[in-house]
Amino acid sequence: MSFEGLSKESTEKRRSLLESIYLWEVVKGLAVTGRHLVHNIFHTGDMPTMQYPEEKRVYSDRFRGRHRLMKREDGTPRCVACQMCSTYCPADCITITAAEHPDPAIEKYPATFDIDLLRCVYCGLCEEACPCDAIRMDTGIYEIAADSRDKFVVDKEFLLNEQTRGTR
């Protein structure tokens, strides 16, 4: 079989007379949509639509939501301002200013730790880069909304706050 013959037969489906008149096919189509309509009128609960603010989707535990900063036992941030996360961040959304820690064993601590949530792509590479397990994205928060751009830049106090941790 030649290539031309094959392509012609496979692209042009032979239509029967009834199909080429088209009207019966229209009626069949209307029957399909009509079935959906009637079914949905009597079984509104079967629809996959989620009524969002009332119902919320349950995400898996691995879902990457808004970041949080972990604390040591004494309440200070675990972060040692090594800049690994901000270096690794593909969106360049983490800004850390390092300062000298009074404890010589710790060396540095973040004087400021800002994340621009509008730049963040929620890839989770900061979590992986962190040598101290200081930054995590396990809060499960995905409703991040504000009415001005500067409110999306969250600082160290916000990220350390217990209130920002997790909806679950």
Partner 1 sequence: MAIVLESLAKIVFMFLLIMGMVPALIWAERKGAAYIQDRTGPNRASIGGVRLAGLVHPIADVLKLVFKEDVAPTNRHRALYALAPWVVMTVAVSTYAVIPFGDYLTIAGRKIPLVVADLQVGLLYVLAVASLGTYGIVLAGWAANNKFTFLGGIRATAQMISYEINMGLAIMGLMLIFGSLRLTDIVAGQGGLLFGWLPMWGVVLQPLGFVLFITSVYAETNRNPFDLPEGESEIVAGYHLEYSSLKFALFFMAEYCHMVVGAAMISALYFGGYQIPWLPRPMLEKHAGLLLQLVLGLTVAASLLFAVLFLRRVQREKGKFGDARDREPVLGAGFWIIVALAAAGAFALRPGDIGATGASVFASLFQVGAFVGKVVFFAWLFIWVRWTLPRFRYDQLMRLGWKVMLPLGLANLVGTALVVALIGNGK
Per DSSP, the three-state class of 112 is strand
Q: How far is the CB of 20 from partner 1 (least distance, A)?
A: 10
Which lies closer to partner 1 via its Cβ, residue 46 or residue 103? 46
Q: How far is the CB of 53 from partner 1 (least distance, A)?
A: 10
Which lies closer to partner 1 via its Cβ, residue 13 or residue 36? 36
Residue 114 to residue 89: CA distance in whole angstroms: 13
CA distances in angstroms from 70 to 12, 52, 95, 108, 110, listed in the order given: 64, 31, 17, 16, 13
Q: How far is the CB of 115 from partner 1 (least distance, A)?
A: 33
Which lies closer to partner 1 via its Cβ, residue 37 or residue 58? 37
Structure tokens at 8: 């012609």
Residue 133 to residue 90: CA distance in whole angstroms: 19
Binding site for partner 1 (CB under 8 A): 23, 26, 29-30, 32-34, 36-37, 40-41, 44, 47-49, 51, 54
